[in-house]
Amino acid sequence: MTDTVKIMFLGDLAGRSARRLVREFLSGQVAVIENLSCDFVIANVENASHGFGLTQKNYVELSEVLDCMTSGNHIWDKKDIFDYIEDAPKLIRPINYPQGTPGVGSRIFDCKGVKIGVINVLGMTFMGLVDNYWSLLKTEIERIKQITPIIFIDFHAEATAEKICFARWASELGVSAVVGTHTHVQTADAQIIAGKTAYITDAGFCGVKDSVIGMDYNTSLNRFLTQLPQKYLPAQGEEVMLNGLIVEICVNTGNAVSIKSFSIEKNYSEEI
């Protein structure tokens, strides 16, 4: 057993282009910058299927390269989720949905003899109605701490202030990492809070670069110009980006040792 474990987290996957680049990236087929090796890979997949939700087909496809999949408020957008979520051992939905919601909000994974706890949480500010997570999470963190000191949280939220406040509170409870998702723009504030908890406000997203956070520009513009309902369409393009980070964690204490964000681009028009 090594002294540390390296966990890679990939920001929200948006559509087919993101799935393609992620598969290639994790299969070693894309030239990447140095020191991006890792032991365990997590990705947020709530937008992985045509920009909204996750089909069973895409879950199976991504299971080949991902160790854990987190999600958010869009996880229910593809209706076959209800047919397979109970039998999807790598998938987590937000823990603060009401009791009785299908799926689970946390899991403990084994990685080369090291146990890694992963929790998915949905923010409350500017989001849909979900259960208050403060007391719920305190209990869940204490439960996982009895099994492993390593706890990684995907905090899927809109408000920056809520993300920062939550991370500082989680650090006081000994959480190893809090990574923000949902807003799809990688922030420049990667840090280690109180010498314990790796944090970034948003990991960014994986998908078409020439887009509005993964969505088609014209569709997005028309919604703003007219204020009328209009179905979002995933952006189409050959220049694709992949945002993520790597957190190194001490296996004995659960404290984060380092956090490094990265952004990679590939232009598929250059392929023969």
Write out the catalytic residue numbers. Answer: 74
Contacts (Cβ under 8 Å, ≥6 apart) of 111: 5, 39, 40, 67
Q: Give the C-alpha separation, 218 to 223, whole Å.
A: 9
Total residues belonging to the chain: 272
**Three-state secondary structure call for residue 18:** helix
* Contact of 94 with 71, CB cutoff 8 Å: yes
Run of H or E residues at 143: helix 134-145
Torsion of CA 102, 107, 110, 116, to 10 degrees: 160
